Amino acid sequence: MTTITRFAPSPTGRLHVGNIRTALHNWMLARKAGGRFLLRIDDTDAARSREEYVEAIRADLEWLGLEPDGEERQSERLEKYEAAFEALKAAGRVYPAYETAQELELKRKIQLGRGLPPIYDRGSLKLTDEERAAKEAEGVVPHWRFRLDHEEPIRWDDGVRGLQKFDPAQLSDPVIRRADGSWLYMLPSAVDDLDMGVTDVLRGEDHVSNTAVQIQMFTALVATRYSGAQMPRFAHEALLVGKEGKLSKRLGSLGCDAFCERDIEPEALVAMLARLGTSQPVEPIADRAKLVEAFDLSTFGRAPAKFDDTELDRLNAAIVHQMAFEDVKDRLPEGMDEAGWHAVQPNLTHVSEASDWWKLVTGPIESCEFSPEDSAFLAAAAQALSWSETPWQDLTATLKQSTGRGGKALFLPLRQALTGMDHGPDMKELLPLIGEAEARARLERAAS
């Protein structure tokens, strides 16, 4: 059976880092098995869904290099949910419920006050036909709930958490349809997974109780409408937390747009999120094939996965240090060629910093104050400068012999005079880019 995974965001906002990690892991799971990765836009909430967010989701996945093998939109599949709903209603697995939001909240408070779990008491299921007719005669429009079967425990072997067991009597019958006829998440998601042949559902551990409910939905749908269909396998990964170890609201707003603004490479973000929360080391691996080959749900842990910005910057620097000129040439300052990129690359944390370092070549540079002894030394350097394939090595060798200087006393004044800084790219690579005439002029200005 072909492995089929799906990423199913709601277009009610931008993707955040937790969504991105879920999408990545589903993409990797599919690619590891040679299967298919689907994008499903869960846009049944017409009041909150925005087309601009649909476009943003597509753009974010493209930036990350997570190209889906197909796309579906729930808003275009409403007739399928209607048919499934009618089949479940005919089988007695859905029922109308008439309580208002205020009445339900009061029930929850009473149950909590009595030390009981705040689950729905099935009050509407106990109504007689006459009582339901009276409600509707009063103009009360029902919402609809899925009736859980309380006879057998709900079990599944979770790909991350192992054997899971739920007592359905301790779960509320979930609302699947609002009074206005619109759909909530549960039923459309189950219908889509069966209809699209999804084999693996990998999502956050906050969906574990949803899975328990949906397993019964899958069973009921197979019995009533999708005969012969296979229920997906389920895996629930630990959620992301900040480096302080607490759930961070900031992570809920940290998305691809924020990473782009910080000039984070998508390869760095992918390398980090691919293994975050697993027993495998987080390494600056730019080759997606290597990450996919090592992907294994058995390495995922139960502890919260800690997202650390400092670690991301470290990974980004390591990724930038691997990048070829051809990969970045369109993002570099005017005039910077491959030699220029190679010279500044080891000093970069982000590609955008290349512009600042390139100013050491194009000028102007900051002026430094030198002692009389260093000024005399720089004047000698200007006279000793001769151009060859290795001008820096030749200049320093000549000055070392003629002045007796070595180490910091030899190299630092030269670097300061030539670049205006006391640190930076390797001068062996930088000096040829500055050029003979400009280098001599800078030495002479510093000496004077």
| Domain extent listing, the chain | 1-72+238-322, 362-447
Distance of CA 27 to the CA centre of its chain: 12
Q: Which residues pair with 299 in a beta bridge?
A: none
- Domain 362-447 bears CATH identifier 1.10.10.10: no
> Degrees (nearest 5) of the Cα angle 439, 444, 448?
150
What's 230's DSSP letter? P
3-state DSSP assignment of residue 38? strand
Q: Edge-to-edge, what's the strand order for the sheet holding 143-146?
A: 94-97, 143-146, 175-177
Question: What is the token pair recorded at 2?
Answer: 């072909």
Question: Fold identical between 1-72+238-322 and 362-447?
Answer: no
Reading the chain (448 residues) residue by residue, the pLDDT tens digits are 899 999 999 999 999 999 999 999 999 999 999 999 999 999 998 889 999 999 999 999 999 999 999 999 999 999 999 999 999 999 999 999 999 999 999 999 999 999 989 999 999 999 999 999 999 999 999 999 999 999 999 999 999 999 999 999 999 999 999 999 999 999 999 999 999 999 999 999 999 999 999 999 999 999 999 999 999 999 999 999 887 766 566 777 789 999 999 999 999 999 999 999 999 999 999 999 999 999 999 999 999 989 999 999 999 999 999 999 999 999 999 999 999 999 999 999 999 999 999 999 999 999 899 999 999 999 999 999 999 999 999 999 999 999 999 999 999 999 999 999 999 999 999 999 999 999 999 999 999 8
* Rounded Cα distance, 212 and 167, in Å: 9
* Rounded Cα distance, 282 and 294, in Å: 12
* The CATH homologous superfamily of the domain defined by 1-72+238-322: HUPs (3.40.50.620)
pTM for the model stands at 0.91
* Rounded Cα distance, 43 and 76, in Å: 9
Is 249 annotated to bind a ligand? Reply is: yes
